[in-house]
Each structure stands twice: as C-alpha cells, then as structure tokens.
A and B are shown apart, each in its own frame.
Chain A
Amino acid sequence: MGAPDEDRLATATSRHLRSPARVEGLRRLSGGASRETWAFDAVGEDATRHGLVLRRDPSGYLGWSERAVEFDLLRLAHEGGVSVPRVWFLLEDSDDLGSGFVMERVEGETIARKILRDDEYAAARPRLARQCGEQAARIHALDPVALPSLSAEPAADQLARYREYLDGFGDPHPAFELGLRWLADRVPAPSEAHLVHGDFRNGNLVVGPDGLRAVLDWELSHLGDPVEDLGWLCVKSWRFGVTDRRVGGFGDVDELLAGYRDGGGSEVDPETLAWWELFGTLKWGVICQIQAFTHLNGAVRSVELAALGRRVAEMEWDLLELLP
C-alpha cells in the first residue's frame, strides 16, 4: 500500500479548516501492514502551519472502523483531561483515503530507548512515573457509557483467551504453563468496569524534555480492571534494558501509585498489580508468538515479525523471575 494521495488529503483537510490548505512533508511514521501512521503539515493560504498525523487502515471498510472508535476515545479522553493529541476529523467515504482520522501532532519522542538514555530527557525521566500515574487515573475516571462498542475484558476472560491462543499454536511452553497455573489460582476479583487504555506503556508515550506530553495508541482500549494498565506499564519488556526501574524503565512503583492517587485513582492492591504484571509478561510472550505466526502463515511476510518468535523466551525468562 502506497502513500496517501496528497491532493485528496489536502481536500479533506481543507474541508475541516473551511479554507484551502496544501499538504507538505508527508512521511510514514510507523505501523504494520494494515495500520498506518503518517505525519504531514497542513499549510493554509495565510501560511499558517499545522503539524498533523493521519491514522488510517487503507483497506478498512469505509464509514466504520476501529479507527472511528479510537477517534471517539481520543475526543473523550481530551475532554476528561487526559493528555492526548486533539482529534481533527474522521475521513469520509468520499475522501477515498481509506478509513481513519486526522489529529494534531504532539512534538516529542516516543522511542523508549532514547527517552531512557538521551541527555535531552534527563530532567523528564524522574517525573514520568508520577505523571503516568496521574494520566492513568484520569483515563480510568472517563465515563465509558459514551463508548458503547468497547468490549468488556475482565481478568478471567483474558487469561482464558491467552491460554487458547497458546494452545492454538501447539508448541509447548512449560514456563508459560507455570505462569498460567499461578495466575489461575489468583485471579483478581472482578472490579467495577473502568475504561482501560489497553497498551499503556513506554513506547506509546510522547515525552519532551519537560516530561510526559501525550498518551498514544488507544486501539486496544476496553472495559475492565484499571490495575491492568498499571501492571502492563511495569512489564519488564517496556523497561528497555533499564530493568531496575520497574515502571517503564524510568521510575518506581511508589511514584506511579502516588501519581495515581493524586489523579483521583483508587487504592491499588499490590497483589493485583503483581498479577497484572505477570499476566502482561505472559501476554506479550504470546503476542510475540502470534506475530511470528502472522509471518509463518503468510498473512504478512516480514523479518520483523519472524524475529519476534525468538523473543518469546525472553518473556518466559522474565515470567520465571516473577514467580514466587
């Protein structure tokens, strides 16, 4: 799939601005074969420049898609005081650009290794765990009634689902079996359903020299146990080598939970947090296997996906470290 047509993108953007604009500097940011993220500038007739991002599924059904849900979520999150890019407009069928939306571009760094190592972010790092806690609390306080299409994913259901995925591949993973046993014996009691971001981790955060600027990648949002987001942020893979800082490689749990309380979040049970951290480790291991099989079964041929199959052992190792 090639780049989005610049003229069509300019037409759509002009409609939103209610004045003619041209597109400059269109470039691919990231994304897999089905999901794409493009950066561009919209330049108005008076030379006003807007830094924007297009998120789209080129082959998606027009008029309705997960992108439309993500658009609504971002708007809701912004209204609820969560730091997110402001959304501009949904693509329409007549735009002929696939399904997706345009939002403001928040300047900053998302590459975790740079955030954790570069001097530019030295002053930001000590703030991030607390800021993540505050943001998580605001996310969990959003009213999900406005988003009827989000699915409920309580802990027990997710555990069953990842066990099924694992069984679907047929390759035995005794380390994951040990994890599944431990998790099954300690499933947290169902909580009141909160909006859960679903991929709240280092790598999906925009960070500037001043600290956390925006929370991105809402496509896995669902209803469930809010501690899921906090546990996922602690998974060792998201520490990108800075393993002694449990929260994203930049901070400690005490700071995260202090921020969570300041943001209005409930008291967090350490055992529930440990459950979600271990579950997240297992989940990421299984996702790596799913990605490898996406390559192996020919759905998407990619050396990146193939390589993820050999990362599964990292999560098995990390999981064994977490087992008492």
Chain B
Amino acid sequence: MTLQDRPTAPELLEAVREFLERDVMGAETVPTRVLFHARVAVKVLGIVERELRLGPALDAAERERLAALLGHDGEVDDLLAELARGIRDGSLDDSRDEVVASVRESVRAKLEVANPKHLET
C-alpha cells in the first residue's frame, strides 16, 4: 500500500509508454534517430514496469539462493560480491556445479526483468 494517489507508478509508466508508442512513433514525420530512441525508451519503460512488479520477489529469492550457496545470510550485493571473489580466487572451485547452477538462476532472474525474450533463444 502507498500514500500516493492514482495513477500508481506502473500506471504512470504505462501512460508514458503509450504516449511514445502512439504519439511519437506513430507520428507522420519522425526523424529516424528520434524514432530509434523512442523504441529504446519504450523498451526501457517495459524494464521498469517488470522490475516494479517482479523485483522484490526476485531479490528475495536471490538472497535465499546466495545464502544457501555461501552458507550465510547478507545483503544481496554483498553476497554477489563474495561469490564473484570466490570464483576468481578459486575458493569455490570444489562446488563449481552448484556455483554455475546458482549463477545461471541469478542471470535468469535479471533477464526476467531486462529482456524475458532472451531466455527463449
């Protein structure tokens, strides 16, 4: 729940995205570069919409996954940094299969926000 009035943040993003899709990209004369950047902007708004919707649950699952892998809880960015260091210095080599599986799930979680279509390729 939030103090803020409607439209909600996702609804505002949707309104801006529709403006770009309908009024900017649909206009009769749009310079090619503006059209290209409008397409990019529409994609960016889609990312933010998905992050607002899915982000909290994906972060929580990531924290749980990393805590299980590393054997202790912490903030997601601290755990990720520890995992990255452990891969680089070789201290996690003994559990490489678990590490790779966990990293793949992390990247999948990022793509569910950034570009879900990429998961199909």
**Which A residues are closer than 8 A to B by beta carbons?**
28, 172-175, 177-178, 180-181, 236, 241, 243, 302-304, 306-307, 310-311, 313-314, 316-317, 320, 323
Contact between chains at A307 and B43 (CB < 8 Å): yes
Across the two chains, which residue of chain B brings its CB closest to A173? B84
Distance in angstroms from A37 CB to nearest chain B CB is 12
Contact of B115 among A175, A313, A320 (CB under 8 A): A313
**In the complex, which residues of chain B have a beta carbon less than 8 angstroms from the beta carbon of A307?**
40, 43-44, 47
Contact between chains at A317 and B108 (CB < 8 Å): yes
Contact of B111 among A28, A303, A317 (CB under 8 A): A317
- Can you show 8 pairs from A to B with CB atoms below 8 A apart? A174-B83, A177-B84, A178-B100, A236-B121, A303-B41, A313-B111, A317-B111, A317-B119
Contact between chains at B47 and A175 (CB < 8 Å): no
Across the two chains, which residue of chain A brings its CB closest to B110? A313
> What is the CA–CA distance of A323 and B104 in the complex, to the nearest angstrom?
11
8 additional A-B residue pairs with CB within 8 Å, beyond A303-B37, A313-B118: A28-B33, A174-B87, A243-B121, A310-B44, A310-B47, A314-B114, A314-B118, A316-B110
Contact between chains at B44 and A174 (CB < 8 Å): no
**In the complex, which residues of chain A have a beta carbon less than 8 angstroms from the beta carbon of B40?**
303-304, 307
Q: How many residue-residue contacts, CB under 8 A, span A and B?
A: 77
**In the complex, which residues of chain A have a beta carbon less than 8 angstroms from the beta carbon of B115?**
310-311, 313-314
> What is the CA–CA distance of A316 and B36 in the complex, to the nearest angstrom?
25
Write out, one digit per residue, whether chain B residues 59-95 have a CB within 8 A of any chain A CB (1) or not (0): 0000000000000000001001101110110100000
**In the complex, which residues of chain A have a beta carbon less than 8 angstroms from the beta carbon of B110?**
313, 316
**In the complex, which residues of chain B have a beta carbon less than 8 angstroms from the beta carbon of A302?**
37
Contact between chains at A320 and B37 (CB < 8 Å): no
Band of interface residues on B? 20 to 34
Contact between chains at B81 and A172 (CB < 8 Å): yes
**In the complex, which residues of chain A have a beta carbon less than 8 angstroms from the beta carbon of B13?**
none
> What is the CA–CA distance of A143 and B115 in the complex, to the nearest angstrom?
43
> What is the CA–CA distance of A285 and B79 in the complex, to the nearest angstrom?
21
> What is the CA–CA distance of A236 and B118 in the complex, to the nearest angstrom?
11
Distance in angstroms from A28 CB to nearest chain B CB is 7
**In the complex, which residues of chain B have a beta carbon less than 8 angstroms from the beta carbon of A316?**
103, 107, 110
Q: Which of A174, A178, A302, A310 has the most CB of B within 10 A?
A: A174
Contact of A181 among B37, B87, B113 (CB under 8 A): B87
**In the complex, which residues of chain A have a beta carbon less than 8 angstroms from the beta carbon of B88?**
177, 180-181
**In the complex, which residues of chain B have a beta carbon less than 8 angstroms from the beta carbon of A173?**
84
**In the complex, which residues of chain B have a beta carbon less than 8 angstroms from the beta carbon of A311?**
114-115
Contact of B80 among A172, A243, A306 (CB under 8 A): A172
Contact between chains at B99 and A317 (CB < 8 Å): no
Contacts of B3-46 to chain A: CB distance below 8 A: 33, 36-37, 40-41, 43-44
**In the complex, which residues of chain A have a beta carbon less than 8 angstroms from the beta carbon of B121?**
236, 241, 243
Contact between chains at A313 and B107 (CB < 8 Å): yes
Contact of A320 among B44, B80, B85, B100 (CB under 8 A): B100
Query: Given A172-B77, A320-B103, are A178 and B118 neighbors across the interface (CB < 8 Å)?
Result: no
Across the two chains, which residue of chain B brings its CB closest to A244? B121
Contact between chains at A306 and B44 (CB < 8 Å): yes
**In the complex, which residues of chain B have a beta carbon less than 8 angstroms from the beta carbon of A175?**
103-104, 106-107
Across the two chains, which residue of chain A brings its CB closest to B43? A307
Contact between chains at A323 and B114 (CB < 8 Å): no
**In the complex, which residues of chain A have a beta carbon less than 8 angstroms from the beta carbon of B90?**
181
Q: Which of B47, B90, B107 has the most CB of A within 10 A?
A: B107
Contact between chains at B111 and A178 (CB < 8 Å): no
> What is the CA–CA distance of A68 and B107 in the complex, to the nearest angstrom?
42
> What is the CA–CA distance of A302 and B34 in the complex, to the nearest angstrom?
11
Contact between chains at A304 and B37 (CB < 8 Å): yes
> What is the CA–CA distance of A316 and B118 in the complex, to the nearest angstrom?
11
> What is the CA–CA distance of A313 and B62 in the complex, to the nearest angstrom?
15
**In the complex, which residues of chain A have a beta carbon less than 8 angstroms from the beta carbon of B103?**
174-175, 178, 316, 320
Distance in angstroms from A292 CB to nearest chain B CB is 12
Distance in angstroms from B3 CB to nearest chain A CB is 29
